[in-house]
């Protein structure tokens, strides 16, 4: 339920008791409870201080300006500056995300935020998604423990998703069915759940005109005739443009959808969110994420039942799972093999607890080396959740390298990025009271024997973080 | 002795079968590399149906001009009906002219019509019947490795792909990012000790071994680069490393390269897709160069993709998910310089569902036929690799 146990989490768990701790995880307050040092870093990030439109509008102007410069060298310089602005925004989003993952006591919200991002995956390096990815993640986080329908709506109206799956290009007479297909295949019903190529094509028609507009409303309003104007929707960078929409009647999953603008999209999302296949597909994915490669089907069915009866209330679905004997059993048997995200974050959390890192760069680098970089899965299926994707020989060898870095010299995590570059060295402390009480008794003889041969505290840390026990 | 003359001279030699495994004859060990273009590359604009007026009608803004049309960036003639994308002229045309490169059009998954990248990639990598329960822990290259002896399989990828899952400790290595190991030999021994009784034990041992082998090879390349050699970038760098590793250490490999899902603004003779193709062409030529002429004669490279794209361009100067693709078969012993396999005239009437190339050569039948020839597998062993499939012998090796 967390990005890795450590002394702080254990202390809160003990203080509250299991039930109250779980209640708190499922219903975190609106405010972050981050350590002051972590909150201060986030507060210093420009993306945290300004809404997306205020970030995007000047950038769009900057880009247009660059493209209009006749001198090729000057143009190139300005275009590079624009790209650097985008890179910086992406980096800020990743920094905020990692700080919350590492230090928020409301761990379940952060775990679910990552889950939903992966479920509604977008790729940082496509188009201008670096600009919008931070806001996209904020929206997912806002609904992470809310209702599925709201998550679906938030993604369907977000410039990051509309760019990523090309729906910003989808218009009447210029159909692009990429997003329509992935909504059904990956976001809701799941492949092979009964929809047809015709359903994909009809949903693509419903989604025509659903796009983006990166300029202020007064600078770039579409020219619409008087009848179409009431259908026009603008919200931030999102735009529904009636002039690009196919107003014909659609036949989608057995429903007849009358052409009437963006309300068609809402109707289609209702149909998808309430489809029984969606309840099962999402429930199974959640259970796989938390429990094992093959979650028990009976439990998945109970979760899906809860999904249907609560209209996709995520907390209800999670509660069914967390309170089930199957879940307790999976914790005791340690059936879940850590993916790289869980491995790296749990290692940093255990080794450094609430000593706040100054530089997210090394952590992001390790995740990329392990092929599970933040926002860095190019295809919309998201990262796989099963062990076989992450326990191959090459993966294991790389994990040990990273365990060594985390366990010995912190790999630059406590050296602030330029221009500050101050280093406030931190020393990993795994062999704490938490370790001796909770971890050591679970170690095998082989692991203890290897740890006994460690030549230094750093080597001991590296070996512990490399142990079979720490991989689960 | 190259493979063809070896086969000619030893035609009577039947591969020895011991307990269902083939003991391939010495020096005739084949090397096979499968290159997966993830994202469904637009085959129609790479091996181009230049004699089809329907092609030019269907792609008003992204078609590649006919050979001899006078355009500077025209397609390069392969046959009267087919032309090659000009971005591949410098790298791959020489192989075609040496008859070491063949194209198999209308190839793909006969029984997977989902047009889903992920679904169809999985289908191909597993190589199992689509209907019925799939075993996600049994890829077709892992099954090939199991019926052969002396295979040293490896995936040159950060994660072990489905196609090589299910074997015993098949390694993978992220070929693009090889660095000097920080975990020393003593620490490696201690770590292996912790995993002695663990299910991941063999993966851990294999991981250290491959790490050391690959680092040795790559450090030679680094030493060369230090002496002023031009260093390759991107996929070409990876392919050149793979060439050296397959010359010396591994003989069954898999690598993937992404960036082919061109829904928007894919370009024609130049532009986005042309750039990706240029890099891919240089990579394959670089691979052939690094593996060296001797090993190249015993090497089979097959380039595949999950499906083709719509025959007509879409409203965004791109193409959407289609069906039939074009596969590439390369190698020193390939009977190439030809367009192989069953074909139809490219016209509206021959399109599948009036939008895509049909699939006339199933990927399993093609691989089955290639493996049968390259490794001397009999029908029974081909069936172990591809259950229920009749291999198609296109006489490519």
pLDDT digits over A346-386, tens only?
A: 999 999 998 999 999 999 999 998 989 999 998 889 999 99
Pick from B118, B159, B258: CB nearest A395: B159
Under 8 Å between Cβ of B293 and B332: yes
Is residue A320 over pLDDT 90? yes
Distances (CA, A) of A393 to A337, A398, B167, B174, B204: 15, 9, 12, 11, 6
Position B150 scores a pLDDT of 82
A431, A293, A414: which is closest to A361 by C-alpha? A414
For residues A17 and B23, which has the higher predicted lDDT (pLDDT)?
Answer: A17
Is residue B20 over pLDDT 70? no
pTM of the model: 0.80
Contact assignment for B316 to A396 by CB distance below 8 Å: no
Across the range B230-248, mean pLDDT stands at 88
Under 8 Å between Cβ of A371 and B158: yes
Chain B neighbours among A 422-461 (CB < 8 Å)? 444, 446-447, 449-450, 453-454, 459
Chain B neighbours among A 284-303 (CB < 8 Å)? none
Residues B351 and B58: their CA atoms lie apart, in Å, by 12
Query: For residue range A16-70, what is the model confidence (pLDDT) as tens digits?
Result: 999 999 999 999 988 889 999 999 999 999 999 999 999 999 999 999 988 888 8
Is residue A164 over pLDDT 80? yes
Is residue A411 over pLDDT 50? yes
Under 8 Å between Cβ of B155 and B33: no
- How far is the alpha carbon of B207 from chain A, nearest alpha carbon, in Å? 4
Give the A:B interface size as CB pairs under 8 Å: 156
For residues A95 and B150, which has the higher predicted lDDT (pLDDT)?
Answer: A95
Neighbours of A71 (CB within 10 A): 9
Is A466 touching B (CB cutoff 8 A)?
Answer: yes
ipTM: 0.91
Residues A350 and A428: their CA atoms lie apart, in Å, by 8
Please report which confidence band the pLDDT of residue A73 belongs to, taking 50, 70 and 90 as the band edges: confident
The dihedrals phi and psi of B101, each to the nearest 5 degrees, come to: -140, 130
Residue A234 bridge partners (DSSP): A239
Across the range A90-108, mean pLDDT stands at 97
Question: What is the residue whose two structure tokens read 């010995």?
Answer: A408
Using only the alpha carbons of chain A, give its radius of gyration. 24
Contact assignment for B264 to A175 by CB distance below 8 Å: no
Query: For residue range B128-157, what is the model confidence (pLDDT) as tens digits?
Result: 988 767 788 899 999 999 999 888 999 999
Is residue B335 over pLDDT 90? yes
Contact assignment for B159 to A390 by CB distance below 8 Å: yes
Contact assignment for A176 to B314 by CB distance below 8 Å: yes
Contact assignment for B196 to A404 by CB distance below 8 Å: no
For residues B4 and A395, which has the higher predicted lDDT (pLDDT)?
Answer: A395
Residue B37 bridge partners (DSSP): B257, B305
Is A192 touching B (CB cutoff 8 A)?
Answer: yes
Q: In a mutagenesis test of the A interface, which of B187, B262, B272 is the best target, namely the one with the most A β-carbons within 10 Å?
A: B187
Percent of chain B beyond pLDDT 70? 90
- Of how many residues is chain A composed? 472
Contact assignment for A468 to B39 by CB distance below 8 Å: no
Is residue A335 over pLDDT 60? yes
Q: In a mutagenesis test of the A interface, which of B61, B158, B173, B272 is the best target, namely the one with the most A β-carbons within 10 Å?
A: B158
Is residue B226 over pLDDT 70? no
Across the range B291-320, mean pLDDT stands at 95
Among chain A residues, the shortest Cα distance to B189 is held by A450
Pick from A178, A393, A463: CB nearest B169: A393
- How far is the alpha carbon of A390 from chain B, nearest alpha carbon, in Å? 6
Position A332 scores a pLDDT of 87
For all residues of chain A together, what is the average pLDDT?
A: 94
Distances (CA, A) of B120 to A1, A423, B79: 33, 49, 30
Flag the least confident range among A75-79, A87-91, B82-86, B124-128.
A75-79
Sign of CA dihedral B385, B389, B390, B393: negative
Quick check: helix, strand or coil at residue B177? Answer: coil
Pick from A173, A371, A396: CB nearest B158: A371
For all residues of chain B together, what is the average pLDDT?
A: 89
Contact assignment for A392 to B191 by CB distance below 8 Å: no
HSE value, Cβ hemisphere, 13 Å, CA-based, for A277:
16
Is residue B386 over pLDDT 80? yes
Q: Hey, what are B130's tokens?
A: 């689509």
Chain B neighbours among A 377-396 (CB < 8 Å)? 378-379, 381, 384, 386, 388-396
Query: For residue range A417-455, what is the model confidence (pLDDT) as tens digits?
Result: 877 777 777 888 888 888 888 889 999 999 999 999 999
Please report which confidence band the pLDDT of residue B229 belongs to, taking 50, 70 and 90 as the band edges: low
Position B27 scores a pLDDT of 32
Q: Hey, what are A267's tokens?
A: 């109707």
Please report which confidence band the pLDDT of residue B25 belongs to, taking 50, 70 and 90 as the band edges: very low
Residues B165 and A389: their CA atoms lie apart, in Å, by 9
Contact assignment for B320 to A444 by CB distance below 8 Å: no
Is residue B297 over pLDDT 70? yes
SS (H, E, C) B120-153: HHHHHHHCCCCCCCCCCCCCHHHHHHHHECCCCE
Position B18 scores a pLDDT of 44
Position B3 scores a pLDDT of 37
Query: For residue range B70-79, what is the model confidence (pLDDT) as tens digits?
Result: 888 999 999 9
Neighbours of A8 (CB within 10 A): 15
Strands A255-257 and A250-252: antiparallel
Residues A179 and B331: their CA atoms lie apart, in Å, by 39
Across the range A147-154, mean pLDDT stands at 98
């Amino acid at each position: 339920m967390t990005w890795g146990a450590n002394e702080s989490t254990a202390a809160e768990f003990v203080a509250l008791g299991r039930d109250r701790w779980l209640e708190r995880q499922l219903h975190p307050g609106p405010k972050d409870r981050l350590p002051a040092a972590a909150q201060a870093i986030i507060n210093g990030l420009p993306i945290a201080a300004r809404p997306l439109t205020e970030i995007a509008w000047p950038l769009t102007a900057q880009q247009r300006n660059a493209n209009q410069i006749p001198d090729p060298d000057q143009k190139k310089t300005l275009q590079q500056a624009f790209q650097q602005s985008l890179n910086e925004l992406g980096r800020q989003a990743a920094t905020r995300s990692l700080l919350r993952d590492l230090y928020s006591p409301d761990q379940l919200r952060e775990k679910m935020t990552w889950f939903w991002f992966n479920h509604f995956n977008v790729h940082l390096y496509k188009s201008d998604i670096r600009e919008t990815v931070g806001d996209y993640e904020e929206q997912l986080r806002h609904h992470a423990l809310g209702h599925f329908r709201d998550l679906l709506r938030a993604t369907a109206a977000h410039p990051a998703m509309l760019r990523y799956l090309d729906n910003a290009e989808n218009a009447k007479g210029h159909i692009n069915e990429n997003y329509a297909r992935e909504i059904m295949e990956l976001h809701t019903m799941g492949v092979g759940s009964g929809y047809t190529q015709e359903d994909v094509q009809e949903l693509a028609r419903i989604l025509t005109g659903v796009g983006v507009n990166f300029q202020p409303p007064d600078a770039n309003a579409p020219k619409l005739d008087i009848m179409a104007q009431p259908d026009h929707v603008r919200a931030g960078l999102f735009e529904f443009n009636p002039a690009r929409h196919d107003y014909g009647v659609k036949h989608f999953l057995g429903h007849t959808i009358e052409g009437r603008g963006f309300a068609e999209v809402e109707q289609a999302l209702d149909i998808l969110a309430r489809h029984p296949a969606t309840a099962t597909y999402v429930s199974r994915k959640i259970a796989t994420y938390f429990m094992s490669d093959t979650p028990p089907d009976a439990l998945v069915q109970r979760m899906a039942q809860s999904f249907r009866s609560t209209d996709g209330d995520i907390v209800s679905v999670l509660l069914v799972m967390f309170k089930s004997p199957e879940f307790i059993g999976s914790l005791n048997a340690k059936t879940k093999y850590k993916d790289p995200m869980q491995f790296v974050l749990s290692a940093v959390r255990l080794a450094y607890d609430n000593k706040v890192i100054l530089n997210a760069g090394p952590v992001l680098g390790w995740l990329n080396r392990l092929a599970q970089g933040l926002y860095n899965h190019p295809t919309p299926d998201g990262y796989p959740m099963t062990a076989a994707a992450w326990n191959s020989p090459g993966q294991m060898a790389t994990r040990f390298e990273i365990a060594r870095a985390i366990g010995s010299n912190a790999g630059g995590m406590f050296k602030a990025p330029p221009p500050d570059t101050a280093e406030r060295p931190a020393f990993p402390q795994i062999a704490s009271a938490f370790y001796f009480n909770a971890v050591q008794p679970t170690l095998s003889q082989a692991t203890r024997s290897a740890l006994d041969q460690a030549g230094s505290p750093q080597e001991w840390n590296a070996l512990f973080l490399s142990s079979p026990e720490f991989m689960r | 002795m190259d493979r063809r003359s070896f086969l000619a001279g030893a035609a009577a030699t039947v591969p020895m079968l011991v307990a269902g495994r083939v003991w391939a004859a010495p020096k005739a060990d084949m090397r096979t590399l499968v290159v997966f273009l993830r994202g469904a590359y637009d085959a129609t604009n790479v091996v181009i149906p230049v004699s089809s007026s329907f092609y030019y009608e269907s792609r008003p803004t992204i078609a590649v001009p006919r050979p001899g049309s006078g355009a500077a960036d025209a397609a390069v003639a392969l046959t009267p009906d087919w032309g090659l994308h000009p971005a591949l002229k410098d790298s791959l045309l020489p192989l075609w002219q040496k008859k070491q490169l063949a194209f198999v059009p209308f190839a793909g998954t006969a029984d997977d019509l989902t047009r889903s990248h992920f679904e169809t990639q999985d289908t191909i990598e597993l190589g199992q019947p689509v209907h019925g329960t799939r075993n996600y822990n049994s890829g077709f290259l892992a099954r090939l490795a199991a019926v052969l002896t002396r295979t040293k399989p490896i995936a040159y990828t950060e994660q072990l792909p489905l196609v090589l899952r299910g074997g015993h400790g098949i390694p993978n290595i992220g070929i693009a990012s090889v660095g000097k190991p920080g975990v020393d030999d003593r620490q490696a021994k201690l770590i292996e000790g912790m995993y002695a009784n663990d299910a991941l034990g063999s993966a851990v041992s294999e991981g250290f071994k491959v790490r050391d082998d690959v680092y040795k090879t790559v450090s030679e390349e680094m030493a060369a680069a230090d002496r002023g050699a031009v260093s390759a970038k991107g996929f070409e760098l990876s392919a050149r490393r793979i060439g050296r590793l397959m010359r010396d250490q591994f003989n069954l490999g898999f690598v993937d390269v992404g960036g082919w899902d061109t829904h928007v603004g894919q370009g024609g003779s130049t532009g986005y897709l042309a750039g990706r193709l240029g890099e891919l062409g240089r990579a394959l030529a670089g691979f052939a160069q690094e593996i060296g002429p001797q090993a190249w004669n015993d090497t089979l490279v097959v380039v595949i993709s999950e499906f083709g794209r719509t025959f007509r361009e879409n409203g965004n100067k791109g193409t959407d998910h289609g069906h039939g693709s074009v596969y590439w078969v390369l190698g020193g012993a390939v009977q190439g310089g030809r367009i192989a396999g069953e074909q139809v005239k490219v016209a509206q009437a021959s399109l599948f569902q009036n939008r895509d190339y049909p699939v006339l050569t199933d990927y399993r039948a093609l691989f089955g036929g290639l493996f049968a020839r390259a490794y001397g597998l009999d029908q029974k062993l081909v069936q172990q690799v591809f259950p229920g499939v009749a291999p198609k012998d296109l006489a490519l090796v």
